[in-house]
Amino acid sequence: MTTDLTFRAAELDDAAGIARVHIQAWRESYAHLLPAASLAGLEQGPREDRWRKIIAAAASDVWVACRGTDIVGWASAGAGRDDDSPRPRELNGIYVLASEYGSGAGQLLLDAAVGSGGAYLWIAAENPRAFAFYRRNGFVPDGATSAHELVGTAVPILRMVR
């Protein structure tokens, strides 16, 4: 793989690229969790609008990983949203295209989003690749569980803290 992988803070013009990665990464990562029809029905326009609002609001930090000029991953983090936040900083999301697995893009994004200090995140309970990534980065389950609805399907989730 070439070494033209970079990362930077997201800009409003990145909303389309972030939305594209968001949709493709869900299709690649959640095929075992979500109905194929639901994943096939994900639409660029609404996701792009949502990302434009998130970036403009600046309530959370959004980072992108780029291969050349193409966005290949993103991460967002901000103040913990849970009433019982175990740490002040929450990783809201991080997704990298499957073609970038092992490239270091995920690590760059995680480091940019939460650094090496304390943080927490919620993860699909049946997401072994992501679970292993977070474990390697010092995150451990704290016993909190819930369910999160993704495109109409309840997905069991668990909280990890560092």
In the chain, what are the domains?
Answer: 5-117 (3.40.630.30)
pLDDT tens, position by position, for the chain (162 residues)? 446 999 999 999 999 999 999 999 999 999 999 999 999 999 999 999 999 999 999 999 999 999 999 999 999 999 999 999 999 999 999 999 999 999 999 999 999 999 999 999 999 999 999 999 999 999 999 999 999 999 999 999 999 999
Q: How much of the chain is in helix, strand and coil states, percent to nearest 5?
A: 35, 35, 30
